[in-house]
Amino acid sequence: MSVHNSRKRLLAPDITAMKGQGPIVALTAYHAHTAAIADRYCDFLLVGDSLGMVMHGFETTVPVPLELMIMHGRAVVRGAKRALVVVDMPFGSYEESPSVAFRNAARVMKETDCGAVKIEGGRRMAETIRYLVERGIPVMAHIGLTPQSVNVIGGFKAQGRTTEQWAAIEEDARLVADAGAFAVVLEAITQPLAARITEAINIPTIGIGASESCDGQILVMEDMLGLSPQVPRFVKKFGKVGEAIEDAIQSYAEDVRSRAFPTPDHTYPMKAEAPKGRSRVSPSQVRATKKPKTLSSKG
């Protein structure tokens, strides 16, 4: 007799079903504690290869290895309980062939227990997307500005800013949807183009710098929290966490140097000890040494 566990976590088809039902909310996440917070409000969390730039200081996402994505993916899955967790496939892990892509994507899903992977590229990746989906791996597509191609496109440049570019990007969207992607990220494209694509395909469009016309929105968490020193035009800073962290560290350093920290409140006190020359006896030991009372009879 088989036992089926009831999963409360959202799955890829749940995200697809949100098409036209109201904006889908998503953020990137790279570690367990922030994933646990975002999980209360987001429909899916993306373990983006942007972690290479945000957390590890790389200039682009290109150097990020598969093992790093797996490590952070595990942490996010442990932190999130409800949101679908999607893990980026890093540069070089899927472009060679559909079979190589499957081998690496299967490893990501097995070792992280995530619910889907994300792949950059439109028409050139359509065959690979179909191959993965047919073999049980849900795929989120990513078109428009594709950061892993930054060395080819000449930097982090917005796409579709002239109507001559629209046809190619629209074809990318149509082909990844036809290949079986459950959603597609539209990055750094203009509002009219985003609106056309969202209307034309039957899977959700997730915008990052692609206007309110998309079915959902995603941002890099550190960008919207105000942790990143420089952010793209499309980012709104919803917090000033970077300033709060600096203020806290400055206060800590000042207290340490002035010996205002630590105080007795932050120090462990000594335990009470028995006077010298007397051994401490526990109540149970006292009871054990007492002689039991006996009944005496008269005469």
Q: Which residue has the higher pLDDT, 20 or 151?
A: 20
Q: Report the pLDDT value the prediction gives residue 283, as an integer from 0 to 100.
A: 56
Q: Is 122 helix (H, G, I), strand (E, B) or coil?
A: coil
Among 62, 58, 60, 134, which residue's Cα sits nearest to residue 92?
62
Q: Report the pLDDT value the prediction gives residue 213, as an integer from 0 to 100.
A: 97
Phi, psi dihedrals of residue 117, rounded to the nearest 5°? -120, 165
Query: Rounded to whole angstroms, how far apart are CA atoms 156 and 159?
Result: 9
Q: Report the pLDDT value the prediction gives residue 5, as an integer from 0 to 100.
A: 58
**170 in Cβ contact with 162 (< 8 Å):** no
Phi, psi dihedrals of residue 256, rounded to the nearest 5°? -65, -45
pLDDT single digits (tens) 113-132: 999 999 999 999 999 999 99
> For the whole model, what pTM was predicted?
0.86
How many other CB atoms are found less than 10 A from the CB of residue 68?
A: 18
Q: Which residue has the higher pLDDT, 46 or 288?
A: 46
Among 101, 94, 91, 78, which residue's Cα sits nearest to residue 9?
78
Among 92, 97, 131, 133, which residue's Cα sits nearest to residue 116?
133
Q: Report the pLDDT value the prediction gives residue 155, as an integer from 0 to 100.
A: 65
**141 in Cβ contact with 187 (< 8 Å):** no
pLDDT single digits (tens) 197-216: 999 999 999 999 999 999 99
Q: Let me know if 164 is a catalytic residue.
A: no
Active-site residue (options: 187, 222, 246, 254): 187
Mean pLDDT value across residues 130-140:
98
pLDDT single digits (tens) 265-293: 999 999 998 777 665 555 555 455 555 55
pLDDT single digits (tens) 48-100: 999 999 999 999 999 999 999 999 999 999 999 999 999 999 999 999 999 99
Query: Which residue ranges form the domains of the chain, and what is each CATH number?
Result: 12-239 (3.20.20.60)
> Which phi-psi region, left, alpha or beta, contains residue 277 (left: φ > 0; alpha: ψ -120 to 50)?
left
Longest dimension (CA), the chain: 123
